[in-house]
Amino acid sequence: MAGRIFVSYGRAETAPQAAWLCDRLAERFGRHQVVKDADPAAAGSCDVLLALIGRYWLTPAGPDDVVRQEIESALAHGVPVIPVLVDGARMPAPGELPPSLAGLAQRPPSGLGAASPELDVSRLVQVLDQSIAERQATQAGPARDQPTVTGMAPSWAPPPGRAAPARPAPARPAPARPAPAQPAPAQPPPGLTKPMPPQRKSSSRTTSRPARPAGPTTTTRRPGPTPGPARTASA
């Protein structure tokens, strides 16, 4: 991951180490990504600053202290500052630093010595990769709300400071009302119920009788036996 690296060093003490380190970093990140001997204000536009600290780093350099101006510019713009102890130099105590450089003591230092310089550079590159990734991730967050190259914000993003309007929820059908319960038929009090007689089944067969003709009814008498001659009793 490419990122601009600013190398800050004391010109009279750590110039050889700074030149050697810049060459090694250029092989890893690119020549144009490694900056040194530039305007101190340029330190605030880089992704990380390496502060090379020698044994006499705390010695005041006068009102035109370039090293102090470079570190102050980086801290003022939120640029991570990594102290690099050269040839066994010690890390300044927080009380030894001026108030404008107090942020320098917040990060653990790295080392760069003549005993194992390549190993020191390999470890320093790992620290730089992590610091650059964190710096670029922090810068990418606010950039999402900025206008695009065309000068217009993305159509899907709401204007800054205004929340997107909430979409109305779809209408839900009203629940069906239950039918009113019908009252149960009234039952007579116990003891007043009479049993119903069983119903006879009607026969499907019917006997038809001939109808009698209307009119007066005539009674016909049958003749009785004809009386014979009277018998005479004999004397």
Percent of the chain with pLDDT over 90: 46
Mean pLDDT is lowest, of 90-94, 147-151, 190-194, for 147-151
Q: How high is the pLDDT of residue 201?
A: 54
202-219 pLDDT, tens digit each: 544 444 455 555 555 444
Domain edges within the chain:
5-143
Q: How high is the pLDDT of residue 158?
A: 47
Q: How high is the pLDDT of residue 113?
A: 94
Q: Give the pTM.
A: 0.59
52-91 pLDDT, tens digit each: 999 999 887 766 789 999 999 999 999 999 999 999 999 9
157-215 pLDDT, tens digit each: 445 555 555 666 666 766 667 666 666 655 655 554 555 555 555 544 444 455 555 55
CATH topology of domain 5-143: Rossmann fold (3.40.50)
Which range of 24-38, 169-183, 217-231 scores highest in mean pLDDT? It is 24-38
> What's the per-residue H, E or C state across the chain?
CCCCEEEECCCCCCHHHHHHHHHHHHHHHCHHHEECCCCHHHHHHCCEEEEEECCCCCCCCCCCCHHHHHHHHHHHCCCCEEEEEECCCCCCCHHHCCHHHHHHHHCCCEEECCCCHHHHHHHHHHHHHHHHHHHHHHHHHHHCCCCCCCCCCCCCCCCCCCCCCCCCCCCCCCCCCCCCCCCCCCCCCCCCCCCCCCCCCCCCCCCCCCCCCCCCCCCCCCCCCCCCCCCCCCC
